[in-house]
Structure 1
Amino acid sequence: MGRDEKQQPHGPAGKAALGAGWSHRHRDVSGGWLRPTVFGAVDGLVTNASLISGLGGGGVSAHTVVLTGVASLVAGAFSMGTGEFISVTNQNELVGAEVSLEQQMLTQFPAAEEEELAGYFRDYGADPQTAARMAAAVSRDPDIALQIHSRQELGVNPQELPSPLLAGVSSLFAFSAGAVVPLLPYLFGASSLALTLALTAVALAGGGMVVGRLTGRPVVWSGLRQLAFGALAIAVTYLVGHLIGSGA
Structure 2
Amino acid sequence: MRRVVVHREHHVADRIGWLRAAVLGANDGIVSTASLILGVAAAGAPSGAIVVAGIAGLVAGAMSMAAGEYVSVSAQADTETAELDRERHELVEDPVGELAELAGIYVERGVDPDTAATVAAQLMAKDALRAHARDELAITVGAGARPVQAALASAASFIVGAAMPVLIVFVASRSSLIVAVAGGSLVVLALLGGIGAKTGGANIWRGVVRVTFWGAFAMAATAAIGRLVGTAV
Same fold (TM over 0.5): yes
Query: What is aligned with 2:150?
Result: 167
The secondary structure found in structure 2 opposite 1:79 is helix
Query: What is aligned with 1:185?
Result: 168
Contact 2:194 2:205 (C-alpha < 8 Å) held by counterparts: yes
Number of positions where the alignment pairs a residue of Structure 1 with one of Structure 2: 227
Unpaired runs of 5+ residues, structure 2, are none
Counterpart Cα distance in 1 of 2:182 and 2:211: 14
| Cα offsets for 1:137-185 (capped at 9, x unmatched) | 22212x2x22232233322212222332321111111111111211222
Query: What is aligned with 1:87?
Result: 72
Structure 2 letter corresponding to 1:108: E
Query: What is aligned with 1:107?
Result: 92
| Cα offsets for 1:37-69 (capped at 9, x unmatched) | 211111111101111111122111111000111
Query: What is aligned with 1:223?
Result: 208
Query: What is aligned with 1:146?
Result: 129
Query: What is aligned with 2:220?
Result: 235
Structure 2 letter corresponding to 1:185: I
Counterpart Cα distance in 2 of 1:92 and 1:30: 19
Query: What is aligned with 2:159?
Result: 176
Unpaired runs of 5+ residues, structure 1, are 1-5, 9-22
Query: What is aligned with 1:202?
Result: 187
1:157 to 140, 147, 161: 140
Residues 243 and 194 of structure 1, relative CA distance in 2, 3 Å threshold: same
The secondary structure found in structure 2 opposite 1:161 is coil
The secondary structure found in structure 2 opposite 1:24 is coil
The secondary structure found in structure 1 opposite 2:136 is helix
Query: What is aligned with 1:20?
Result: none
Query: What is aligned with 2:197?
Result: 212
How many angstroms does 1:208 deviate by?
A: 0.4
Residues 164 and 213 of structure 1, relative CA distance in 2, 3 Å threshold: same
Counterpart Cα distance in 1 of 2:204 and 2:158: 22
The secondary structure found in structure 2 opposite 1:146 is helix
Residues 127 and 32 of structure 1, relative CA distance in 2, 3 Å threshold: closer
- Please identify runs of 4+ aligned residues in structure 1 that moved more than 4 A: none
Report which stretch shifted further, 70-79 or 161-170: 161-170
How many angstroms does 1:27 deviate by?
A: 5.4
How many angstroms does 1:98 deviate by?
A: 0.7
The secondary structure found in structure 2 opposite 1:158 is coil
Contact 1:204 1:227 (C-alpha < 8 Å) held by counterparts: yes
Counterpart Cα distance in 1 of 2:226 and 2:15: 42
TM-score, scaled to structure 1: 0.85
Contact 2:34 2:181 (C-alpha < 8 Å) held by counterparts: yes
Structure 1 letter corresponding to 2:158: F
